[in-house]
Chain A
Amino acid sequence: MIFVALFAPILGTVDPTAIAARLRTREPSALHWFGTDMLGRDLYSRVLYGARVSLIVGFSVAALSSIGGLAIGLFSGFFRAMDAVVMRVMDGIMSIPSILLAVALMALTRGSVGNVIIAITIAETPRVSRLVRGVVLSLREQAYVDAAITCGTRTPVIVLKHILPNALASIIVQATYVCASAMITEAILSFIGAGTPPFIPSWGNIMAEGRALWQVKFYIVLFPAIFLSMTVLAVNLLGDGLRDALDPRMTKAA
């Protein structure tokens, strides 16, 4: 556990950037490292390009849902009047399993990377907002918040200057988990044909194309699968490492 905690940030940050760095320099090559798919396209370069989609989707969803969740969570955590209504709406959205929600939203629009990001963000935001609200509720009981209120500080200032910095640690940790699950969801959406359009190579797409041939040409499914799993694993370990590093309580428990 200590090993993971110490080395996860290194493992986690090195892996995704290494993939991205190779992406820039290497155009589709004639060497076919991973073989070719049924249309004769080089699988190796397709998998590398697929990294782009996964990383873009992962990071955008993490960023957008953190911002959205933060806004909603801070709002409903601090203004009690709105709390019940906002949280009931969030409960409702959360009670739709997130993959199903994303799939249903994708059915409304045409498949594009942007739409995938929006759909997954809508599915992930309520969870973040719940977390933020919980943190805000416990923080606003703290003495320094009372002190700030007594001093006559205006509410927006309290929220932004006193609550936000203290809530940030757990939000960053949550964002890494959201990033990991967004990459999985993107792959699943593409895999069942409701995600990234077929002409953009994404890991889910490549696997969906390999699906017809998987019993004879297993490698078409295998390579994107390995890349996807390793990337998600790296991000998850990064999350675990950050959690242990940022929260002293969790280190003791783990």
Chain B
Amino acid sequence: MVAYIARRVLAIIPVMAVVAMFVFLLLYLSPGDPAVVIAGDQATPEDVEKIRQGLGLDRPFFVRFAEWIWQIVHFDLGTSIFTGQPVSTLIAQRIEPTLSLMVITLLFAVITSIPLGILAAWKAGAWLDRIIMTFAVFGFSVPVFVVGYVLAYVFALELDWLPVQGYSPIAQGIGHWLEGLLLPAATLGCVYIALIARTTRTAVLEVLRQDYIRTARAKGVGQIATLFLHALKNAAVPVVTVIGIGVALLIGGAVVTESVFAIPGLGRLTVDAILRRDYPVIQSLVLLFSLVYVLVNLAVDLLYTVVDPRIRY
């Protein structure tokens, strides 16, 4: 078990190395020469060359790559070209809304999608199943921002139940915080719910054919207990896997959702950075999001042994 965990943690290294390489290439290939910019209009080519040497830009690719990795490991993400602030400060300022949005969405999605999936599996083939699965296909097909605008139009503009846009920090009261996040979370959760519900349905259907389910029914275990205790427990591995994989959807979706609902989070920061071509910021965000994704999936891998004791490493 310990050996397995160690192996799994070590396996992150090559993956993150590829990500880091890609992210570094992004900066390396980015248009514009920093030395020319710093030297200004009046500079002679010799001046530019001097500045380039001063910045270490004339050294080979791999030397610069190694140096950059060294900085990253020491949490030095560089400074934003646009604002001049350290990237780590920018990220720290923006992390709360994004984290709130993701956690709420995750909870909301898991709580709604798993019962939906189980229900669909239980009533497989019946109209209830068809309705749920139709919604699931719609969830896959309607882009995040379309869901966002429609929800905002109906619930905020027409019905006036919830705030249209904006974010209220958790420090200013949990009620307002939650109110502001309901629509964004529903928006962001749409695809995620569709994905989890579909997987749950397939996994539970598979389990329901097993002998022990028939045994449970024969000895008089109620329908609800059979579905949630016996079936769900045994169907947990694919469901947990897809919850982990789906985090990528949440990250990508957050970028869009935050734009629609004017939430000042990391997604908004990403969009701004792209529009301003602020490469150090883009770089750090890609690196950060990928790391989060990899770590979530590592956690999911380690969870397998908890949800399914039959799995032994």
Binding site for B on A (CB under 8 A): 1, 88-89, 91-93, 95-101, 103-104, 106-108, 180, 184, 187-188, 191-194, 207, 214-215, 218, 221-222, 225, 228-229, 232-233, 236-237, 240, 253-254
Contact = CB atoms under 8 A, between A and B. Distances in A.
Given A95-B16, A100-B251, 11 more contacts: A91-B15, A95-B18, A95-B19, A95-B294, A99-B253, A104-B274, A188-B143, A188-B256, A192-B256, A225-B146, A253-B202
Given A95-B293, A97-B252, A240 B137 contact: yes
Contact of B270 (A1, A100, A236, A254): A100
A92 B22 contact: yes
A237 B140 CA distance: 10
Interface stretch (B23-31, B81-89, B103-111): B23-31
A229 B277 CA distance: 30
Contacts of A98: 248, 252
Contacts of B286: 96, 100-101, 104
Given A1-B125, A215-B157, A107 B282 contact: yes
Contact of A99 (B21, B255, B273): B255
A232 B142 CA distance: 7
A91 B18 contact: yes
B304 interface: no
B274 A194 contact: yes
Contacts of A188: 143-145, 252, 255-256
A229 B141 contact: yes
A236 B141 contact: yes
Contacts of B277: 107
Contacts of B275: 193-194
Contacts of A192: 255-256, 259, 271, 274
B19 A99 contact: no
A229 B146 CA distance: 8
Contacts of A215: 157, 164
Contacts of B164: 215
A237 B153 CA distance: 28
Given A100-B255, A194-B275, A184 B143 contact: yes
A55 B289 CA distance: 30
Given A103-B270, A221-B149, A108 B18 contact: no
In the A-B complex, the 3 residue pairs with the closest CB atoms: A92-B18, A99-B252, A233-B141
B77 interface: no
Contacts of B297: 95
Nearest to B146: A225
B192 interface: no
Given A95-B293, A95-B294, A103-B274, A108 B31 contact: yes
A100 B141 contact: no
A144 to B, nearest CB: 29
Interface string B119-150: 00000010000100100011011111110011
B17 interface: yes
Contacts of B259: 191-192
A184 B138 CA distance: 13
Given A192-B274, A233-B138, A228 B143 contact: yes
A229 B142 contact: yes
Interface in B38-58: none
Nearest to B285: A100
Contacts of B141: 180, 229, 232-233, 236
A228 B252 contact: no
13 contacts: A1-B130, A98-B248, A99-B252, A101-B286, A107-B30, A107-B279, A180-B141, A188-B145, A191-B259, A192-B256, A193-B271, A225-B150, A232-B142
Contacts of B80: none
B263 interface: no
Contacts of B255: 99-100, 103, 188, 192
A220 B302 CA distance: 47
